[in-house]
Amino acid sequence: MRFAAIGCQALCVSACLALATTAHAQPSSSRWNVEGGIGWDVNLSGEFLNEAIGSLSGVPVVIDSTTYGDVFGTGFQWQIGVGYALDDKNEVRGGFTFQNVGSDVVTIGTAGTSDLVATFEDYTVWSLDFGYRRYFNELQQRRIRPFAGISLGIADIPRIDGVFAAPAAGLVGVNTDLYDGTAAFTFGINGGVVAPVSPKLDVTAQIGFRHVSGLSEIDDLVGTGLERLNDESGRWTMPILFGVRYKF
């Protein structure tokens, strides 16, 4: 009887240890998470103004190729999204991305023999994106998880007006609608890491490449020789974001 009792005790202890080990190895029961991030959106390619030769208010002008970075610099980008874990390594996501960047006065070419300068309305983008994220290791407490992702979406970009000036050539405050409001398509790929802070809170860091299709052309420049200004307005950027994620 004594040996039977000892055997029962050993069996119970083994069962408890097995259950504890299994519980520790199981992933969190939280499938939903909300994630927010902020960072830089570095311009890689895309011409805000394509090179062209024509006239503004009857004054001959030459427009130089001018990138988004030349006009707006490197802007900040905000993201907020929701994710749902399909299993331990695969997740689908949806979210909003916002960016608003102001323009400085920039030299964009010449008017006659004088510099042609301009300033533009803010470049503002609201986008709704849907995507997929793949983690490269199993979900465990206190373990950094690298990931890669892909996204598709649609962006709303309000109209952008420009004010051109070359006082020595007789151009003072010439205002024109440069781009109409646009519904653009977006595509992105990214990679990063998720680092746990607590069972429900993580910090995140990611870098990627994002494409926004071209802006809508306008009719104001028809007949001026400047119609090609809008031809290369699709752009690639490199978002670098840091954020937090909460699992619930």
Q: What is the CATH topology of the domain spanning 28-247?
A: Porin (2.40.160)
Phi, psi of 4, rounded to the nearest 5 degrees: -65, -40
The pLDDT tens digits along the chain (248 residues) read: 443 343 444 434 343 433 344 334 344 467 999 999 999 999 999 999 999 998 888 889 999 999 999 999 888 999 999 999 999 899 999 999 999 999 989 999 999 889 999 999 999 999 999 999 999 987 775 689 999 999 999 999 999 999 999 988 888 888 888 888 889 999 999 999 999 999 899 999 999 999 999 988 777 777 778 888 888 899 999 999 999 999 98
CA distance 91 to 134: 6
Model pLDDT, residue 29: 61
Contact assessment for residue 115 and residue 93, using Cβ atoms and an 8 Å cutoff: no
Model pLDDT, residue 138: 77
Neighbouring residues of 222: CB distance < 8 A, sequence distance ≥ 6: none
- Amino acid identity of residue 248, one-letter, is F
Q: What is the DSSP string of 18-30?
A: HHHHHHHHSPPS-
Instruction: Determine the straight-line distance between the first and last CA of the chain, rounded to whole angstroms.
Output: 50
Model pLDDT, residue 79: 96
Length of the chain: 248
Domain segments of the chain as ranges: 28-247
Residue 35 has a CB neighbour count (10 Å cut-off) of: 21
Q: Using DSSP, how many helices (H) and how many strands (E) does the chain show?
A: 2, 16
Residues 33, 40, 118, 186, CA torsion sign: negative
Model pLDDT, residue 188: 97
Surface-to-core class of residue 221, CB atoms within 10 Å of its CB (0-12 exposed, 13-18 middle, 19+ buried): buried
Nearest of 64, 147, 78 to residue 111 by alpha carbon: 64
How far, in Å, are 71, 109, 124, 128, 130 from residue 102 at the CA level? Answer: 9, 20, 9, 22, 27
Model pLDDT, residue 222: 75
What the block records as the tokens of 48 is 């805000």
Mean pLDDT of the residues in the chain: 85
Surface-to-core class of residue 68, CB atoms within 10 Å of its CB (0-12 exposed, 13-18 middle, 19+ buried): buried
Task: Indicate yes or no: pTM above 0.85.
Answer: no
Q: Residue 69 half-sphere exposure, CB side, CA atoms within 13 Å?
A: 12
